[in-house]
Amino acid sequence: MLRVMSPGDLKGYCLKKPQGPQFELLAGAVTDITRDGRDFIVRLSGMAYGRWMSAYIRFSDREMSDRKMLATRLVASQVKRGDFLSVFLMHKNKERVALDFKFYGNWRFHGWAGEKNVFIGKIYNFSNDCAWFCDYSPRNGGKKTYSWQVCFEPQVMDSARRFLSQGNPFAICICGSQIGGTGQYLCHTFDVI
C-alpha cells in the first residue's frame, strides 16, 4: 500500500477553510534515503491501484519546533531501507514535503469538513464486528504503545474477516470521528499493509 489518502480524500479535513495547499498521507516501505544538503529525500514504495509505485518525499529541519525537525527525527529514529513509514505531507513547488511521520499509529485529521481518523498498525483481537487496533513501535522493543477499538461497517466486514483469517494482523482502517465518546471508531475503508 502506498497512497492511503489522496489530496482529494483529505480535502476539507486538514484546514479550517476551503482554500489551501494539497495534503496527502502515504504509507509504504523505505526503498532509498538520499542526503540533499541538510535535507533527506526518502523514497517510499508499495502497491497502489494494482501496481508497484514509488514517491519521493523531502524531510527538512526548517521548522523550529522539536516535533517538526523531521530530518533530525529521521536520523534519530534510525530509519533504514525496508522500514515501514507513514508520512503526512504537503505538495509544495511540485515536490512532496513531509510535515510529520510515524511508523504506525493514529492519524487524526480535523478541518472544515469534519474529522477523519486513519489507523495504521496491528490488529491484536477481533470479535463480532469490532477489532482492537494497536500501535507496536519497532523502536521500543515491539511493545504495544496505544490501542483503539475499530468497528467495521458491513461493506468492509467480509474483507476484514478474510484478511484476519490469513494470519497477517497489520492493516489500515479509515474511520470517521469517535462514536459518541465511547472510544470506538467506525471503519468505512479497510486495507492490508
* Per-residue confidence (pLDDT) for residue 141, from 0 to 100: 62
Write the CB contacts of 48 (distance below 8 Å, at least 6 apart in sequence): 1, 2, 3
Question: C-alpha cell of 188?
Answer: 468505512
Question: CB–CB of 94/110 below 8 Å?
Answer: no
* Per-residue confidence (pLDDT) for residue 169, from 0 to 100: 66
* Per-residue confidence (pLDDT) for residue 142, from 0 to 100: 58
* Arithmetic mean of pLDDT, 82-110: 91
Asked if the model's pLDDT at residue 136 lies above 90, the reply is no
Could you tell me the domains of the chain?
Answer: 3-102 (2.40.50.140), 105-192 (2.40.50)
* Per-residue confidence (pLDDT) for residue 138, from 0 to 100: 56
Residue with the three cell numbers 474477516:
161
Which has the closest alpha carbon to 192: 160, 144, 145, 155? 160
* Arithmetic mean of pLDDT, 67-83: 88
- Among the ranges given (101-110, 164-173, 182-191), the one the predictor scored with the smallest mean pLDDT: 164-173
Asked if the model's pLDDT at residue 153 lies above 70, the reply is yes
* Per-residue confidence (pLDDT) for residue 36, from 0 to 100: 93
Half-sphere exposure of 96 (CA within 13 A, CB side): 22
